[in-house]
Amino acid sequence: MSNTQTAAEPLPFGGGWEGAFRADFPILSRTVHGHPLIYLDNGATTQKPRCVIDAMTDEYLNVNANVHRGVHYLSQQATDLHEAARETIRRFINARSTAEIVFTRGTTESINLVAATFGQACMQDGDEVILTAMEHHSNIVPWQLLQARTRIIIKVCPITDDGRLDLEALQQLFTPRTRLLSLTAVSNVLGTVNPIRDIIRMAHAHDVPVLIDAAQAAPHLPLDVQDLDCDFLAFSGHKIYGPTGIGVLYGKEAWLDRLPPYMGGGEMIGKVTFEHTTFNELPYKFEAGTPDYVATTGLARALDYVTAIGLDNIQQHEQALTSYAREQLSQVPGIRFFGPSDDAVISFLVGDIHHLDLGTLLDQLGIAVRTGHHCAEPLMHRLGVEGTVRASFALYNTREEVDALVAGILRIQKMFR
């Protein structure tokens, strides 16, 4: 493929690291309302490096053909790229086999897939699933949809006032009817990094499998599914510098084998001409229809990019930036923080300025932040607020941008005095 872009050698934070990779992201040089763009909405989606855009453009320009279906050259080349992407993803999360890597449209579809198929195969009326008070709607509503078919019981692990899971309360929620624990590794609102390794061990001690929502974790922390020993794990391409519309469901092979297809898979399998005779039932059983094979290439390129920089380096940079931001934002009179902001996410409110007003006025200064309930309305109820302002960071954000955010908030605050 053309335009291979190699990330520079990682440099220590505070040295040349800051801003070192900004040039890889073309969009970061644009202006918004006459100001340089300061993009602090990475929890919602990240920007894409040129290498991802180029890999996808290159595939459309030079390779495009449907995968797994043709004997012709382009189809085989497209299939090779698609399956190489699956291998890149397997390596990225250290799954045992590519049979355990299912392509979906994103975290939401991955969780819906598990809720529907696990619900069908493994849950009966009166069985229980445990969620937590800090889940994204995409890890709440699929279970409620399942409830319409099977009268399962949803139990919710509470959080403490400082925005952490109450692990003692969690321990008490397990019963002989508990069939699954499904929780986020990192809160998209509070920035809490949950101790998922310990939690998985706790659940397994009760013989309960665990689904990890890694939508927020994957871009910020190294994940090793074998070390974690999670049973399922979901993440989205667009939050980790990859394209939108593509995501991953990891499942242990034994579990995926047990689950029925999600969408018209059987029929699809009957019709497909497998030129590569090595195809097994998994993971294709869960991949009905033409996949977004260009997006899978883009996602693989994004993971290569992240790996070249090093997730450890990215994590170090983002955590230092997050602490710096918490410190600097503390100067703002009347600011209230929500959650511990362990990693890359800071939620706050300033005095009685409405979150929407603050977000709209920051936008006028070219600063993109998120406002509202962040797809976590039950958590907002728990926090006793209608919404918050959220700044969320990525590998390309800098302390200069944090300074601009703080200056912007102070300026807006004066308007309300």
What positions carry a catalytic annotation? 375
* C-beta separation of 28 from 37 below 8 A: yes
The residue (of 75 and 388) whose beta carbon lies closer to ligand PLP is 388
* C-beta separation of 341 from 392 below 8 A: no
- Closest distance between ligand PLP and the C-beta of residue 400, in Å? 26
The residue (of 295 and 365) whose beta carbon lies closer to ligand PLP is 295
- Closest distance between ligand PLP and the C-beta of residue 319, in Å? 18
* C-beta separation of 332 from 409 below 8 A: yes
The residue (of 140 and 173) whose beta carbon lies closer to ligand PLP is 140
**Alpha carbon separation from 299 to 56, 67, 236 (Å, rounded):** 9, 16, 9
Tell me, what amino acid is at 267? Answer: E
The residue (of 180 and 361) whose beta carbon lies closer to ligand PLP is 180
- Closest distance between ligand PLP and the C-beta of residue 8, in Å? 29
Distance CA 281, CA 243 (A): 27
Burial of 268 (0-12, 13-18, 19+ CB in 10 A): middle
Tracing tokens 């855009």 back to the chain, one arrives at 53
Q: Residues 309-313: contacts with CB within 8 Å, 24+ apart? A: 309/7, 309/10, 309/21, 309/395, 310/10, 311/220, 311/221, 311/222, 312/222, 313/10, 313/17
Distance CA 372, CA 193 (A): 21
Hey, which residues does 178 pair with through a beta bridge? 128
- Closest distance between ligand PLP and the C-beta of residue 271, in Å? 28
The residue (of 43 and 49) whose beta carbon lies closer to ligand PLP is 43
Distance CA 185, CA 212 (A): 6
The residue (of 17 and 92) whose beta carbon lies closer to ligand PLP is 92
Contact set with ligand PLP (CB under 6 A)? 106-108, 136, 138, 184, 188, 213, 215-216, 236, 238-239
The residue (of 130 and 412) whose beta carbon lies closer to ligand PLP is 130
Helix axes 355-364, 399-415, angle to 10 degrees: 120
- Closest distance between ligand PLP and the C-beta of residue 36, in Å? 26
* C-beta separation of 222 from 196 below 8 A: no
Distance CA 77, CA 147 (A): 43
- Closest distance between ligand PLP and the C-beta of residue 76, in Å? 30
* C-beta separation of 89 from 97 below 8 A: no
The residue (of 7 and 215) whose beta carbon lies closer to ligand PLP is 215
- Closest distance between ligand PLP and the C-beta of residue 295, in Å? 12
- Closest distance between ligand PLP and the C-beta of residue 200, in Å? 17
- Would you state the structure tokens that stand for residue 43, as one six-digit string? 């929890």
What φ, ψ does residue 268 adopt, rounded to 5°? Answer: -60, -45
Residue 137, C-beta contacts closer than 8 angstroms, at least 6 positions apart:
375, 376, 377
